């Protein structure tokens, strides 16, 4: 296969993550409004919001350091790197060879660490509160997501994301108890990592309950636009990881245009189903109290641990 085509597909997948992430956020909002019988904004509203923020004046607190100004650009750059290594609709792209799940989790942790530093850099009460809550949740979520990925990595005998997905295309989810538990654990952690209900509410600015919004409260203009765009890409990354790992039907490793077309259609269909389920779930759940969040994330860790044990006992033993 021509290397130029492989690199072209890699760049195209990365651009789809970056450009399509605001559209996914808009579709989720539109679906939730339809399910609640409310008038929905257009699905391209997130693009308009980003355009508005990029053209607004930047106002910064006098107590901030150069770190506060640098963090949005670093976080956005790291998010693009993660987008380049996560397979979207085709396996075997040029950047997928370095798609190690441990490295990917480490990059997500680095984003969280930098965002917490930026939240504390302003010296405000809300920034420090949001940073402490984010670290509190991540201290439980990271072991859970590692355990989930250990389970799927043991199944594929590899930590490379493309190899894992290629191997899981041979499995039936309903016939593998370990994958069912791993998928359940991943879904719970993804809600925490992306700040969705019942862990956090991305559409609220109530000071006593917000987590992510508290850390970016002092940002404005293009800095806030980059952080909002990064969070939208992160949501699309976790949604893509969920459907491509645990429901890899339709994803292909052949670079023929016909196969890629069917793979894109299959990916779009699975994403639509996931968006409908997510919207229906969020309108029927209330946000948990902060000190009840560990119970949910501990359940995700237990699911991951059981997935590992079941794989060792049943599928290996």
* Per-residue model confidence as pLDDT tens digits over 110-131: 999 999 999 899 888 888 888 9
Enter the DSSP assignment of 316: I
Q: What is the mean pLDDT of the chain?
A: 87
Residues linked to residue 160 through DSSP beta bridges, in sequence order: 100
Residues linked to residue 90 through DSSP beta bridges, in sequence order: 252
pLDDT more than 70, % of the chain: 91
CA distance 264 to 248: 12
pTM of the entire predicted model? 0.93
pLDDT at residue 18 in the model: 94
Lowest pLDDT segment from 73-87, 221-235, 302-316? 302-316
Per-residue pLDDT for 94 more than 60?
A: no
Task: Quickly state the pLDDT bin for 68 (edges 50, 70, 90).
Answer: very high
pLDDT at residue 243 in the model: 93
* Contact partners, residue 295, CB within 8 Å, separation at least 6: none
Enter the DSSP assignment of 90: B
Per-residue pLDDT for 298 more than 90?
A: yes
Whole-number Cα distances in Å, 229 to 83, 255, 261: 13, 29, 27
The SS3 of residue 38 is coil
Tell me what the mean pLDDT of segment 159-174 comes to: 79
């Amino acid at each position: 296969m021509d290397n130029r085509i492989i690199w072209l597909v890699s760049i195209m997948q990365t651009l789809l993550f970056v450009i399509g992430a605001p559209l996914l956020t808009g579709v989720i909002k539109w679906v939730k409004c339809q399910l609640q019988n409310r008038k929905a904004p257009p699905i391209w509203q997130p693009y308009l919001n980003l355009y508005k923020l990029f053209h607004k004046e930047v106002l910064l607190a006098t107590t901030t350091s150069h770190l506060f100004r640098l963090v949005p650009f670093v976080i956005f750059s790291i998010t693009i790197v993660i987008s380049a290594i996560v397979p979207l609709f085709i396996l075997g792209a040029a950047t997928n060879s370095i798609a190690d799940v441990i490295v990917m989790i480490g990059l997500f942790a680095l984003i969280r660490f930098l965002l917490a530093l930026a939240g504390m850099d302003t010296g405000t009460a809300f920034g420090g509160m949001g940073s402490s809550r984010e670290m509190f949740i991540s201290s439980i979520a990271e072991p859970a997501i590692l355990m989930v990925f250990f389970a799927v990595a043991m199944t594929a005998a590899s930590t490379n994301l493309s190899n894992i997905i290629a191997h899981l295309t041979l499995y039936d989810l309903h016939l593998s108890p370990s994958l069912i538990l791993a998928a359940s654990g991943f879904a719970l952690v993804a809600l925490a990592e992306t700040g969705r209900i019942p862990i956090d509410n991305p559409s609220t600015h109530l000071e006593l309950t917000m987590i992510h919004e508290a850390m970016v409260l002092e940002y404005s203009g293009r800095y806030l636009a980059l952080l909002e765009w990064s969070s939208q890409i992160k949501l699309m990354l976790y949604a893509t990881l969920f459907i491509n790992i645990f429901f890899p039907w339709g994803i292909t490793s052949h670079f023929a245009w016909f196969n890629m077309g069917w793979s894109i259609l299959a990916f779009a269909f699975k994403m639509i189903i996931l968006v409908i389920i997510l919207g229906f779930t969020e309108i029927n759940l209330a946000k948990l109290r902060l000190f009840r969040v560990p119970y949910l994330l501990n359940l995700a860790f237990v699911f991951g641990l059981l997935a590992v044990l079941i794989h060792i006992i049943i599928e290996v033993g």
